[in-house]
Amino acid sequence: MIRLEGSKVAADLQAELTELTAKYREQGIVPGLAVILVGEDPASKVYVGRKEKMAEKIGIKNFAYNLPSDASQEEVLELIDQLNRNDEVDGILVQLPLPAQIDEQQVLQTIDPAKDVDSFHPENVGKLMQGLPGPKPCTPNGIMHLLKAYDIPIEGRHAVIIGRSNIVGKPMAHLLLDENATVTITHSRTKELAEITRLADILVVAIGRPNFLTGDMIKDGAVVIDVGINRLDKKLVGDVDYETVAEKSSFITPVPGGVGPMTIIMLMYNTVKACELRRIP
Ligand SMILES: NC(=O)c1ccc[n+]([C@@H]2O[C@H](COP(=O)([O-])OP(=O)(O)OC[C@H]3O[C@@H](n4cnc5c(N)ncnc54)[C@H](OP(=O)(O)O)[C@@H]3O)[C@@H](O)[C@H]2O)c1
């Protein structure tokens, strides 16, 4: 069994991006990333903090906004409108989830698709579905990079995804399909789940339930990608029961240090690419 070390692959990409931003700085161009946090959710604060720190390391300028938890829809939309028009800002990210009074869909649809570094805007989702160029959502794209970094073949293999969220499961299916995998998406209403997961050559688990996937649910030699981040007894655990699954799998991502660092670095990648497309002749 080989551990898919997202931290190491992300560190290599970090070095490449840092070199690129240094080159752009010589031309007087500094990529900019605006991160909007609404409210005081502690987990969101941690994620935002990590993104801002990574941006700084790479040479991306941070534009940080922390709106109060009772911020109105209009305030959020007005801020996005300002950022859409700010030429120094290449990427806009709204940390989810948003407080209940805010309409998430309207907020995401207000972001200029050219600055949509999370790739949640319907225009970019449509491009992904049609295989057109555009930003790719960070977590699934990070997983694709990780598979490629370890030369894991995708074409013709059966990929099973557990979870059908807009953030992970659905875009993951498209990216795998683009690489000619045969893809099955499963979810909470799927019957006889283990019978399907045992068919997987590549298994992506993104459901948000600690240690859900156990060793008896996979076939020998499967590649297992654990997207889950769950807090259990003050420890971070994935959706995969690492002990029982690792001994049967050929490759497996650890939690932490697997998919998480890839997600953050792909956000940086999307920001630098958005800057290139908008500002580098
Ligand atoms: N590592 C990272 O960078 C990263 C990034 C994003 C998310 N995450 C983590 O990944 C996990 C999933 O995130 P998400 O945003 O995709 O979650 P989500 O929006 O809550 O979606 C969860 C999906 O799992 C399915 N599901 C729930 N229980 C199931 C069960 N018992 N059997 C089969 N399917 C089940 C749900 O099915 P239904 O559709 O039928 O309800 C749903 O499609 C969370 O732990 C999250 O924190 C990590």
> Is 227 touching ligand 1 by the criterion CB < 6 Å?
yes
Write out the chain in H/E/C secondary structure. CEECCHHHHHHHHHHHHHHHHHHHHHCCCCCEEEEEEECCCHHHHHHHHHHHHHHHHHCCEEEEEEECCCCCHHHHHHHHHHHHHCCCCCEEEECCCCCCCCCHHHHHHHCCHHHCCCCCCHHHHHHHHHCCCCCCCHHHHHHHHHHHHCCCCCCCCEEEEECCCCCCHHHHHHHHHHCCCEEEEECCCCCCHHHHHCCCCEEEECCCCCCCECHHHCCCCCEEEECCCEEECCEEECCECHHHHHCCCCEECCCCCCHHHHHHHHHHHHHHHHHHHHHCC
> Is 163 touching ligand 1 by the criterion CB < 6 Å?
yes
Strand pairing partners for 251? 2, 223
According to DSSP, the β-strands at 251-252 and 223-226 are parallel
> Is 169 touching ligand 1 by the criterion CB < 6 Å?
yes
**Measuring from atom 44 of ligand 1, which residue has the nearest CA?**
208
CATH architecture of the region 138-260: 3-Layer(aba) Sandwich (3.40)
**269 closest CA partner among 66, 3, 36, 51:** 51
Per residue in 247-276, pLDDT (tens digit) is 999 999 999 999 999 999 999 999 999 999
> Is 230 touching ligand 1 by the criterion CB < 6 Å?
yes
Q: Which of 165, 204, 262, 266 to mutate to test the pocket of ligand 1 (most atoms within 8 A of CB)?
A: 165
> Is 267 touching ligand 1 by the criterion CB < 6 Å?
no
Just give the CATH number of 28-114. Answer: 3.40.50.10860
CB 206 within 8 A of CB 161: yes
Residue 27 among the catalytic residues: no
Per residue in 168-215, pLDDT (tens digit) is 999 999 999 999 999 999 999 999 999 999 999 999 999 999 999 999
Measured in angstroms, how far is the CA atom of residue 61 from the centroid of ligand 1? 31
Ligand 1 atom closest to the Cα of residue 212 is 31
Distance from C-alpha of 239 to C-alpha of 127, rounded to nearest angstrom: 30
Measured in angstroms, how far is the CA atom of residue 224 from the centroid of ligand 1? 15
Going from N- to C-terminal start, the domains of the chain cover 28-114, 138-260
Q: Which residues contact 105 (CB under 8 A, 6 or more apart)?
A: none
Residue 51 among the catalytic residues: yes
Strand pairing partners for 2? 251
**205 closest CA partner among 155, 151, 255, 131:** 255
Per residue in 202-211, pLDDT (tens digit) is 999 999 999 9
Per residue in 53-75, pLDDT (tens digit) is 999 999 999 999 999 999 999 99
Per residue in 87-137, pLDDT (tens digit) is 999 999 999 999 999 999 999 999 999 999 999 999 999 999 999 999 999
Q: Is the pLDDT of residue 142 over 90?
A: yes
CB 259 within 8 A of CB 19: no
